Structure 1
Amino acid sequence: MPQSETGTDTAEPVTDHDAQAATDADTDGSSENGSVVPWTSITKPTDDTETLAAMTAASAAEPGADDMADASLPLDQVFAVLKNERRRRVLGMLKQTDDKLSLSDLAERIAALENDKPIEQLTSSERKCVYVGLYQCHLPKMDSMDVIEFNKSRGTVARAANTDAVYDYLETAAPGAEPDWYRYSTILSVGGAAALGTALLVDPMTPLPVIDGTVGCLVIVFVAYGLGAFVWTHRAD
């Protein structure tokens, strides 16, 4: 029996152009001999090892936080801080503790060092002299450079961003490394008085100018001592 035209769908023939378009949609290139190469075979997979190595190298090249802190304080400002003995003592006392220090405690300890006496024997004027100097001059200057953190309202002193950078140049002297000028002056005074007294006793018994010679020697010794103390103090400051 003849087939009905309405019961069967006639398929359209596929042309060469359509076949080529379908092939191009699924492919990304061809090999040299003309065979089709899938596009996935051309794409280079990501190398995680190389990526990680590149990120590590970039991180190593960036300056660390410590380096940035060191570079933030110029060298001339470091020496401007360290040239003063009171500022050096503030930094030395901060270095001995991880906590904050009170301004009154700092003033008492520094006053005791400057006057060579225990804290209990300090007078109110000696305490006030150091306290006012720290409060009005030294601590605000150090705070402006971020060398310390000075809280005026609470009267506390703590470390700041540039404290460690200054510590690299700070020479913390061992006990006894700084000359004890008060002790030396006392020894010279007592020794000079003893020498002069001896000369007065010996002078009547000898024709030599004992007193003149003794006085001349004492003058030379005291002048040399004074010049030495002056030079050392100014070099330290």
Structure 2
Amino acid sequence: MGVIEVDEKEFSLSREDVFETLSNRRRRYAIHALLQEEGSVELGDLARQVAAWETGQSPSAVSSEERRRVYNALQQSHLPKMHDTGIVEYDRDRGTITTTTEASDLHVYLEIVPGNDIPWSVYYLLLGAFSLSFAGAVVGGVPPFGAIPALVGALVPGLLLVASAAVHTLHGRRQRLGRAGLPPELRHRKNDA
């Protein structure tokens, strides 16, 4: 029996790898910064940007000590881990990092549900229950819904679904890793303030 060789670049991320990667704020910031760039990024530039987000400063205001702390952590721990899982290509000798196709797929795991908000899945479940109840009351003639024409009773749930999907789509685009500007969690905190 021969040995089967597998090209390391053809694997997809496991849930464990994704959640392990995204569980660390510094790695999330690094991925966000890397996805904003075309091509490879110098480790020093990445460290400066991540340090800026961590300290709430502009990149030019980051001290050499703040940058060095982030640089060392990225170089020694975070980038090798992300390289091993296939999220980035990290050339330690050149000090350059490039994202892989797996990195751009990470945004689907970042549905941020702040404070008292509910997840979109629960929202759609409630919308479906309301829509069925509303349509059933219109068709069944339950007062006062029986006075509503059946066509309107069918259109209202559909319009609610389309409007909800549009809002969900816009929200998802704002929370995407690599979108211009702040990382999603910092953008969200800024909106809350």
Q: TM-score range by the shorter chain?
A: 0.5 to 0.7
Could you say if the C-alpha distance between residues 75 and 106 of structure 1 is closer, same or farther in structure 2, counting changes exceeding 3 Å?
same
Q: Which amino acid aligns with 2:94?
A: R
Q: State percent identity of aligned pairs.
A: 32
**Per-residue Cα deviation, 1:106-148 (whole angstroms, up to 9, x for no partner):** 1001111111222222221111000000000000000001110
CA contact (8 A) 2:26 2:50 kept: yes
Could you say if the C-alpha distance between residues 180 and 134 of structure 1 is closer, same or farther in structure 2, counting changes exceeding 3 Å?
farther
Q: Which runs of 4+ in 1 moved over 3 A?
A: none
Distance 1:127 1:100 in 2: 19
The alignment covers a number of residue pairs equal to 114
CA contact (8 A) 2:33 2:50 kept: no
CA contact (8 A) 2:50 2:70 kept: yes
Distance 2:74 2:85 in 1: 15
Matches within 5 A, 1:215-226: none
Specify the alignment match of 1:176 in structure 2. Answer: 187
**Per-residue Cα deviation, 1:45-72 (whole angstroms, up to 9, x for no partner):** xxxxxxxxxxxxxxxxxxxxxxx95x63
Could you say if the C-alpha distance between residues 72 and 85 of structure 1 is closer, same or farther in structure 2, counting changes exceeding 3 Å?
same
Distance 2:186 2:54 in 1: 14
1:102 to 42, 45, 63: 42
Distance 2:61 2:191 in 1: 18
Specify which structure has the bigger relative contact order, considering alpha-carbon pairs within 8 angstroms and separated by 6 or more residues: 2
Distance 1:80 1:130 in 2: 19
TM-score normalised by structure 2 residue count? 0.52
Q: Secondary structure at the match of 2:105?
A: helix
**Per-residue Cα deviation, 1:132-172 (whole angstroms, up to 9, x for no partner):** 00000000000001110011111111012522332432443
CA contact (8 A) 1:82 1:88 kept: yes
Q: Secondary structure at the match of 2:93?
A: coil
> Is the aligned partner of 1:142 residue 2:79?
no
CA contact (8 A) 1:145 1:162 kept: no
Distance 2:13 2:185 in 1: 27
- Please provide the CA RMSD for this pair: 2.6
Instruction: Structure 1 unaligned segments of length 5 or more: list them.
Output: 1-67, 185-237
Q: Secondary structure at the match of 2:109?
A: coil
Deviation, 1:180, is: 9.0
TM-score normalised by structure 1 residue count? 0.43
CA contact (8 A) 2:47 2:70 kept: yes
Instruction: Structure 2 unaligned segments of length 5 or more: list them.
Output: 1-8, 111-174, 177-183
Deviation, 1:87, is: 0.8
Structure showing greater Rg = 1
Distance 2:79 2:59 in 1: 21
CA contact (8 A) 1:148 1:163 kept: yes
Q: Which amino acid aligns with 2:188?
A: A
